[in-house]
Structure 1
Amino acid sequence: MNKAGALQSTSREVQAEARRCQLIEAALELFAERGFEATTIKDICERAGVAPGLIYHYFESKESLLLETVRAQGAGTEFCSALVPDHTKPASTELLEIAKTFYKVHRSKWPLMRIFVREAMGNQALSDRWMELIRGSVAEISRYLDTRVRAGELRPHDTEISARILLHTCGMMFLSGEPESRLKGLCDVLYRGIQAERPKRATKRGGGR
């Protein structure tokens, strides 16, 4: 292939990738706004500004486009990587930082998270990915809590359950529109429940004359 032909081929590849990205972006917006079932191929193509038949050049079906849309967004990997606690910090403060990070990631990735929430129950592939994210985040937080148990800050307990309580409650609070300011109350309650008991001071008995 000569130089002109190579440049032309590269240009076509760039254009094709640009159209593919347009379709994914349009699908992300519409799936989040309307849901998977209520969104048609025609809707996606109109939002992306491409001919309806062109979508099948890039994706086999609407479901394959849904899965690719999730994959292109990192499939929530930012969610997992952000929820890695600082093992050097006490749980008395780090639990709140984890909860705040949960809110921050959900706000920044809300279209993706909304797709997970709306579609995971009816789509096995999405459900599997969602559960993978939850298990990964629970494991990270559980490992952190284990270090705080060994440090003597927390009492021995099933740290996986504590991690699940924190994440699931944060999720319910976020979805119900609870303000971030209420996260401190949640973390205080959880912390008091798993905090190690402080040794009781021996009381001195007063001697009689």
Structure 2
Amino acid sequence: MAPPLPPASPEPDAVPRQRRSRRKEARPGELLDAALQLFVEKGFAATRVEEVAARAGVSKGTLFLYFPSKEELFKAVVRENLAGRFDEWNEELDNFEGDSAELVRYCLHTWWERVGMTPASGITKLVMSEAGMFPEIAAFYQQEVIEPGHELIRRVLQRGIDRGEIRPLSMEYAIYSLIAPMIFLLMWKHSMAPCCPASIDPIGFIDNQADLLLNGMRVLAPSAAHRP
């Protein structure tokens, strides 16, 4: 009986063609990663598309096949890292079972883990620094990130008010009270932290801010200290 024939070798150009296909599918993600790194390192104005393409290992022409301008590239970076995640975060809020104090702490910690500890944490500083020069970028960020973010925090606070765990508040200012410490943490990370000897432990800072927001700074009378 004749031995079995070895499996047929792929056509000469089959493997390179498969590699080219995988490479083509990976390009948008690689370009977004490279753009995020450079935008955070250099800012929007100073970043050139040639640099993004070079860091991603492609030509400038290839970059423009996916993103027709630097502005569209930046918008895609924001959607990939921030704006595109609000559906996920709103679903988590819908399914959260703890009380309001647990939810506030969870939100602050989770935001730091998923955004603050990643390269995407530099996007906020970039927008705040360059909004005056690029109002269209600021308007985009306002619509895609700030407004959905405010609405998410509004839902967190309203949930607590409806459950009787948070007293009625001036909602707009309460939203900024939750956001402001996190913006400070981002600005510190991307400005003073690399050169300032005084270090801030982000988790310790977040826990302290949550305690201040939830309990204030006053010493409560014994009868009041046990109220929800």
Q: Normalization by structure 1: what TM-score?
A: 0.71
What value does the CA root-mean-square deviation take over the aligned residues? Answer: 3.7
Report whether the alignment pairs 1:55 with 2:78: no
CA distance in 1, matches of 2:42, 2:88: 26
1:89 matched to 2:98:
yes
Aligned to 1:182: 205
Find 1:146's aligned residue among 149, 161, 171. 161
CA distance in 2, matches of 1:197, 1:158: 25
CA deviations on 1:13-62 (whole Å, 9 max, x unpaired) are 54432233322221121112111111112211211112233222222111
Correspondence 1:36 to 2:44? yes
Matched residues in 2 for 1:183 and 1:26: separation?
30
Task: Give TM-score scaled by structure 2 length.
Answer: 0.66
SS of 2:67 mapped into structure 1? coil
- d(CA) in 2 for partners of 1:198 and 1:80? 41
Query: Which of residues 161, 173, 176 in structure 2 aligns to 1:161?
Result: 173
Change (3 A) 1:102 1:54: closer
Residues paired across the two proteins, number:
191
The 5 A counterparts of 1:97-116 are 97-108=106-117, 110-116=118-124
Q: For the residues of structure 2 that align with 1:145 and 1:34, how far apart are their CA atoms?
A: 41
Gaps of 5+ in 2: 1-10, 190-199
Find the counterpart in structure 2 of residue 206 from structure 1: none
Q: Helix, strand or coil for the counterpart of 1:84?
A: helix
CA deviation after TM superposition for structure 1 residue 118, in Å: 0.6
Q: List structure 1 runs of 4+ shifted beyond 4 angstroms.
A: 7-14, 85-88, 196-200
Aligned to 1:205: none
SS in 1 for 2:93: coil
Partner of 1:172: 184
Shift of the 85–10 alpha-carbon distance from structure 1 to 2, 3 Å rule, reads same
Q: Which runs of 5+ in 1 are unaligned?
A: 201-209
* One-letter amino acid of the counterpart of residue 214, structure 2: Y
* Percent of aligned pairs sharing the same letter: 23
